[in-house]
Amino acid sequence: MQIKLGNITLKHGLMLAPMAGVTDKAFRKICRECGAEFTVSEMLSAKALCYEQVSKKAGFESKTAPLAALDCDEHPSAVQIFGSEPSFMAEAAAQLESLDYKGCTSQIRPAAIDINMGCPVHKIVSNGEGSALMKSPTLAADIVRAVKGALREIPVTVKIRAGFSNENKNAVEMAQAVAEAGASLICVHARTREQMYNPGIDLGIIASVKEAVNVPVVGNGDIYSAADALNMMKQTGCDGVMIARGARGNPWIFSEIAAALDGEEYIYPVFEDRMDTIIRQLHMMVDEKGERTAAAEAKKHVAWYIKGVRDAAGMRDRVMKSESTRELCDILLEIKSK
């Protein structure tokens, strides 16, 4: 497996999927250390970014810009935008590429702009955004064309679903439309919007998209082990895989897959080292967002990491009731010393 995207080459095509509320800078960094070759930001609203530029509110603090912030060594990493209006999408993409927007703290330019055409959340879909675009390949293509036209150097990538409804799995038509419009890579989450996140991915649809377009195709859905990844690659011929929930609490999944692709055995870090990883992630979260936000957002990460430890339910309960990252670290150190 190898992916070429602009002047970037990904040896194994191993990507961390975007997850709003999860794939912040700290978690992306940990995943990169564990073998993710490409990461994507949490989604951000193109329209919100554009409106914020003209905000005249006193003491204005951007809520959108921090989502696009990349660390100085965070390359290659895409910033993902959502929206339904080509003009806003193009304007936001241009601002993100040139790092020219209010509240920008990004230290490097994104490697690509990714367009969200898969989000199933009602609030997004009812605005015609996210997976609602699956209902209109023509509009989807217009958006890609506008974004591509607005970008000077970096490529545009697209993340789609198998279809909107189970009756109309139109991923092939969508993929052809967006590739024709200029998308340089297409990720296919092999579920329909109707399925939301319910079990049952359709590997056949990834295989059909792969056959239908000439740009790299990345498969996504239900990868929780190297075996799952290799199976998807074998069954579909996809050029790479994108992992979302399977990386939560298990960023080492990327190393495990890379080793399997190289025909090597992967030995997971020992438990103590895994606990040290989450403690490091907590510190990075505090640096990034401040103690208050980090303490609230880190709980779920800790709960994912400690899944399967002795008395996990009791520990999880303590984690959820914790009030500071200091308390979370103490719980982790206690688990580690048992």
Active site positions, annotated: 119
Comparison of 77 and 329: residue with beta carbon closer to ligand FMN: 77
In contact, 132 and 84? CB cutoff 8 Å: yes
Could you tell me the smallest distance in angstroms from the CB atom of residue 334 to ligand FMN?
Answer: 28
- Choice between 17 and 147, CB closer to ligand FMN: 17
Using CB positions, name the residue nearest to ligand FMN: 244
Q: What is the closest distance, in whole angstroms, from the C-beta atom of residue 74 to ligand FMN in the complex?
A: 17
Cα–Cα distance measured from residue 124 to residue 275, given in angstroms and rounded to the nearest whole number = 36
Pick 220 or 322: Cβ nearer ligand FMN: 220
Residue 29, H or E segment:
helix 25-33
Query: Measured in whole angstroms, how far is the alpha carbon of residue 208 from the centre of its chain?
Result: 23
Contact residues for ligand FMN (CB under 6 A)? 17-22, 42-43, 80, 116, 118-119, 159, 189, 220-223, 243-246
Q: Does residue 76 have a cis peptide bond before it, meaning omega lies within 30 degrees of 0?
A: yes
Q: Which is nearer to ligand FMN, 32 or 329 (CB)?
A: 32
Q: How far apart are CA 245 and CA 299, in angstroms?
A: 16
CB 209 to ligand FMN: min, Å:
14
Tokens matching residue 258: 């890379």
Instruction: Give least dist CB 131 to ligand FMN, A.
Output: 9
Q: Bridge partners of 112?
A: 78
132 phi and psi angles, rounded to 5 deg? -60, -25
How far CA 296 is from CA of 22, 40, 300, 330, 332, in Å, comes to 12, 22, 8, 16, 16
Of 62, 64, 17, which is closest to residue 45 (Cα–Cα)?
64
Q: Which two tokens stand for residue 3?
A: 């992916």
Beta bridge partners of 163: 192
Instruction: In angstroms, give the least distance from the CB of 336 to ligand FMN.
Output: 27
